[in-house]
A = this chain, B = another copy of it.
Amino acid sequence: MKRTRLCDLLGIEHPIIQGGMVWIANAELAAAVSNAGGLGLISPNAGMSPNDDQVENLKEQIEIAKSLTSKPFGVNLPILNNPHIEELVTAVINAKIKVAVTAAGNPALYTSRFKEAGIKVLHLVAAVRHAQSAERRGVDAVIAEGYEAGGHNGLDELTTFTLIPQVVDAVTIPVVAAGGIADARGVVAALALGADGVQMGTRFVATRECAAHQNFKEAILKASDTDTAITGRKLGPTRILKNEVASKILEMEAAGASAEDLLAFIGSSRSRTGQFEGDMVNGEAYCGSIAGMIKEIRSVGDIIRSIADDYGAVLDNLK
C-alpha cells in the first residue's frame, strides 16, 4: 500500500483510519486497528449505557486502549449538541491522545486547544466550503465523507466520487476519503481521486474486535446493495439499515411529520438499541451502502493485511 503524507502526519504505517462509530467503536477495536498499522478511533460513548457518564467512559476506554497498543490512536468527538464536549476535550488533552477527530460542528472551537497540546486535529466535512473553512481554522487534515457513508451524513448529498476530487482541488492539507470503502479496490480508487488515505466504518463493524452486537454484524453480512436508506432528511440525514424502524421513520417523513415528532419517535439511544443491543427490529443500525460487499466477519488485522496485500494487484490491473 502507498505510504502517503497522512501516514507521516499521524505516525502510522497504512493510510487507513477506522471510523469512530457511536456506541460501538471501543478500545479493543481502536487498538486492533492501530496495532495493524492503521489509526483506530474511540467513540466516547462506546459500550456505555445511555445514562452513564460519557467523560468517565472515555477515560476508561482510553486506558484500555493504551494497555492494548503502544501505537497512536485517536478519539472521535462530535461537537454539535454535545453537552459534555468541554470535558471530553479536556480528557483527550490530559490523556495525551495523539489524534482528535472533530465532527458535526465548528472546527474553530477546539482546534487551537488541541494543537497547543500537540494533538493532531482531523475534521469531518461533506462539502468543499466546509473543507476550506476547516483548513483556515488550522486543522491538520480533513476527512471528506460521501453520501454512501453510514450514520450521520452531509446535507448536500455529495458522493465520495464527486466530493473527494473537488475537496482535493480546494485545499492543500491531506484529505481522507470516507464513505463506500471496504477493500483494496476502494482504497486505490480513493487515492486515485486524490485522497491521502481512507476512513472505513461499516467494514470494521463486521469484525471480531468491534463491540457491535452479533445481530448487527450478521445483518451487514446479509445486506444487499439496496439495503440501506437515508432517514431523517429533516433532522440530519442518517444512513441506516432498512428495517421496521427505518420504514416507520420514512413513513412519518412522507406523511409530513415535524422534526419534533420524528425526534420524539427516534429518541437519543435507538442507535444503541440496534447496534449494541442487537435489536434489529426496534433499533437503528448505522450502516454504509457498501454493506452489500461485506460477506464475512473477519479480524481487523486480517482486513488491513488483505488490503495491503491486494493493493498491488489492483494497481497492476490498471496498467
In the complex, what residue of chain B is closest to A163 when comparing beta carbons?
B225
Give the segment of A71-79, A84-92, A206-214, A311-319 that binds chain B: A311-319
- A186, B163: Cβ atoms closer than 8 Å: no
- B residues in contact with A181, CB < 8 Å: 161
Pick from B147, B162, B192, B225: contact of A128, CB under 8 Å: B225
A226 lies within 8 A of chain B by Cβ: yes
- The answer to whether A159 and B156 have CB atoms under 8 Å apart is no
The answer to whether A252 has its CB under 8 Å from any CB of chain B is: no
Contact indicator B188/A128 (Cβ below 8 Å): no
Contact A293 B186 (CB under 8 A): no
Say if the beta carbon of A219 comes within 8 Å of chain B: no
- In contact, B292 and A166 (Cβ under 8 angstroms): yes
Query: In the complex, A265 Cα to B239 Cα: how many Å?
Result: 31
Q: Does A301 sit at the interface, judged by CB under 8 A?
A: no
Determine which residue in A2, A157, A159, A289 has the highest number of CB atoms from chain B within 10 A of its CB, and name it. Answer: A159
A53-B109 Cα distance, complex, nearest whole Å? 62
Interface residues of A (CB under 8 A from B): 2, 127-129, 146-148, 156-163, 165-166, 169, 179-181, 183, 185-186, 188-194, 224-226, 230, 256, 288-290, 292-293, 314-315, 317-319
**3 closest residue pairs by CB, A with B:** A161-B180, A189-B189, A159-B159
